[in-house]
Structure 1
Amino acid sequence: MNPPTKRGNPRRRALAVGTVLVTAACMTGCGAKAESADLPKSMSALVKQAVKEGVVDWSAPKPQSQMQPAIDLFEKKYPGIEVKYTNTKAPDQVSQLRMEQAAGKVSVDVANAGGLTVGPSADMADDIDWSRYGVAKENVLDKGLVYIWAVPKVWAYNTEKVAPADVPKTWNDLLDPRWSGGKVAAESRASFLTAWDLDPSLGQTKALAWAKKFAARKPHYASNTTQTEASVESGEVSIGTSLINLVLEAKKKGVPVEVAPLSPTNANESYLYVPRGARHPAAAALLTSFLSSDPAQQALARTYNSRIPARTDCSHPDDTPVLAAICKANLKWYPTSTLADYNRLTNFFPKGEEALGTDIG
């Protein structure tokens, strides 16, 4: 294997370009022309208006195949409404919506928010009283963001490269010299350090100290978790940062990967919202509320995309495949439960990149 090298962060560059575009759009009055929707106060009236609209444009950073089971259920329950789905990267969606709201021509009815895009998305989301449409209060973040699925960040290992007795059980185990020289893969963007900030017993200071020691082991850096997971699956590295759904999908195909019992981690919540100025606001609100319902959650669970309890809770581990997997690995997880948490993490990640030595480009 080639020795690991520090790489520039394509995501950082993409976000920088997006920021320039957003700034240019905002100079003309960002969001000034995007107005809140006048939605009905009852579910029955919402359905009537949604059917009249006839279509809903949904955009999220997931393959359509993973969302299709829930889409099929929705279209079966509401046959007069067509769901048009687009797989869009989260940073790209933020830039797109900022410009469209400024121009008063919003093309997305239901948008996705997660991680660093939660803060800007909250500013673009319509202020909807979700309780009118059956969405539980605990599944609403701030005004307009509805918690729909979680994809916990995990450490994955190749079972053909790592003996059971050698599997790391703590973050400090990864500092063992045996994992030096590119045997461990990690995201260069440092978001895998999120759990350190959320765990009250850890915190940012300890996270940065750990990151510097980890960097000294010369890990293999990649720009995202899809790439780190791929390097674990291929055996290029022994262990790497990943997402629970990527590991479960790989295992289903017979790939020799498993979730390491390495805690803590974070729930890694994803939210849906209706942007101000959406063309089909009633259909958008109806789809979002439906995706929060039990039938839709059961459908999403089959593709590893449903909600999990906000905090560590393995009292019913068989509720979803994701919950079963993280409970089997004895993982402890924490929620990012407020906008203040997300804003704090936005400031933390650049510090984490500096400690990892990946703040290049």
Structure 2
Amino acid sequence: MKKSSSTRASQLALALAATGLMASNSALAQSGEVNVICSAQAAWCSMIAVTFEKSQGVKVNMTMKGSGEAIAQILAEKANPKTDVWFGGTGDPHLQAAEQNLTLEYKSPTLPKLHDWAQQQAKQSGYKTVGIYSGPLGFGYNTELLAKKKLAIPKTWNDLLKPEYKGEIQSANPSSSGTAYTMIATLVQLMGEDQAYEYLKKLHKNISTYTRSGTGPIKAVARGETSVSISFVHDGPGEKAQGFPIETITPADGTGAEIGSMSIVKGSRNLTAAKQFYEWALTPSAQALGAATLQFQLPSHKETKVDPRVPDFKKIKLINYDYAKYGQTAERKRLIQRWEKEVNSLPQ
């Protein structure tokens, strides 16, 4: 059952109170603005914008785009930047933006309080991005549809190639989605490149739709539009909490994980407000807003309270994902072009 607008309003008020971010009336006067591209889930993006405005007195002009579309926009606006901060989305495109000198070097004083993986993300980018959350790649599945169609729960990557899954799987398109690019990079590292593309060709036969956004497939699973998705598994519990018949699983043969990141755009017109937003977004109280909007990634600040619905990384077989290599612009472009040429061009 979906939440009513009054429920969402109550949820927002509770989150604001719980995180200690309620501002006094005098602080509510607007003092500046910040333009943010948000590549996280829409509810989380909205909560961030409203909470930051109310607590910090800075107007937030927010647009929501997948990470692939976000970096394309920032690149297109390089000569005349209109964005100040890019929040969320998979870390690889943030590393590519850093490599292309699209983002600003900024070493936050909060860095020592972040998990090692978040600090490493900052270090390897030359401090032009920072990790704000992490989440593993896996499968979402609709329990009712699998039971109705007598389909087994997929437990490995190879399970997705079974003929009974033909037309039952959705994945995102790597040209627009960081989630899908993470899938390709994960498979390349897990299987070897040539074998990974042979796998993707076989998987293509079972894919019903390649969505534009990375969250599209798991939302389709939750709503009974498809049986299985290739998704970040932290997106599943939020759908389940709304009453949808969905569960998630990570492949037993190994998987990768994203490091969702945040970057300040080079040439920001509102740099003071951008840094203010950046620092605020790294606080435990701000990071707790993810779980408040049913987003269950692992927060990067060590002191942020972790919701029990966040995936337990200790129970997941994770590969040693090479974020530096697969965050390179040339590598991303090459792998996606190969996918377009060898996989997406095939009939289904």
Corresponding position of 1:56: 34
Corresponding position of 1:142: 125
Query: In terms of mean alpha carbon deviation, does 155-164 or 110-119 score higher?
Result: 110-119
Corresponding position of 2:334: 347
Counterparts of 1:48-197 in structure 2, within 5 Å, are: 54-62=32-40, 65-71=43-49, 74-75=52-53, 78=56, 80-103=57-80, 106-112=81-87, 114=90, 117-122=93-98, 123-131=101-109, 136=114, 137-138=119-120, 140=122, 141-143=124-126, 144-163=128-147, 166-180=152-166, 182-189=167-174, 191=181, 192-197=183-188
CA deviation after TM superposition for structure 1 residue 145, in Å? 0.5
CA deviation after TM superposition for structure 1 residue 92, in Å? 4.2
Residues 254-282 of structure 1 deviation map (CA, whole Å, 9 limit, x = unaligned): 11111034243322222211112112212
Q: Secondary structure at the match of 1:160?
A: helix
Counterpart Cα distance in 1 of 2:31 and 2:289:
25
2:94–2:262 contact (8 Å) kept in structure 1: no
Q: Secondary structure at the match of 1:166?
A: coil
Shift in alpha-carbon separation, 1:359–1:150, aligned structure 2, 3 A: farther
Shift in alpha-carbon separation, 1:269–1:86, aligned structure 2, 3 A: same
Counterpart Cα distance in 1 of 2:316 and 2:198:
22
2:35–2:82 contact (8 Å) kept in structure 1: yes
Corresponding position of 2:316: 331
Shift in alpha-carbon separation, 1:91–1:205, aligned structure 2, 3 A: closer
CA deviation after TM superposition for structure 1 residue 62, in Å? 3.7
2:91–2:327 contact (8 Å) kept in structure 1: yes
Unaligned stretches of 5+ residues in structure 2: 1-28, 175-179
Q: Secondary structure at the match of 1:347?
A: helix
Corresponding position of 1:270: 260
Counterpart Cα distance in 2 of 1:323 and 1:166:
25
Corresponding position of 1:221: 209
1:229–1:242 contact (8 Å) kept in structure 2: yes
Counterpart Cα distance in 2 of 1:110 and 1:83:
10
CA deviation after TM superposition for structure 1 residue 290, in Å? 2.0
Residues 155-205 of structure 1 deviation map (CA, whole Å, 9 limit, x = unaligned): 11110122499212111122233323x123333435333322344xx3323
Corresponding position of 2:269: 279
Q: Secondary structure at the match of 2:155?
A: coil
Q: Secondary structure at the match of 1:111?
A: strand
Q: Does 1:242 align with 2:242?
A: no
2:234–2:310 contact (8 Å) kept in structure 1: no
- Larger Rg belongs to: 1
Counterpart Cα distance in 2 of 1:67 and 1:185:
24
Counterparts of 1:6-85 in structure 2, within 5 Å, are: 54-62=32-40, 65-71=43-49, 74-75=52-53, 78=56, 80-85=57-62
Shift in alpha-carbon separation, 1:87–1:185, aligned structure 2, 3 A: closer
Query: In terms of mean alpha carbon deviation, does 341-350 or 268-277 score higher?
Result: 341-350
1:149–1:308 contact (8 Å) kept in structure 2: yes
CA deviation after TM superposition for structure 1 residue 67, in Å? 3.0
Let me know the Cα RMSD of the aligned residues: 3.5
1:186–1:241 contact (8 Å) kept in structure 2: yes
1:232–1:257 contact (8 Å) kept in structure 2: yes
Shift in alpha-carbon separation, 1:64–1:98, aligned structure 2, 3 A: same
Counterpart Cα distance in 1 of 2:61 and 2:313:
35
CA deviation after TM superposition for structure 1 residue 142, in Å? 0.9
Length, aligned pairs only: 294
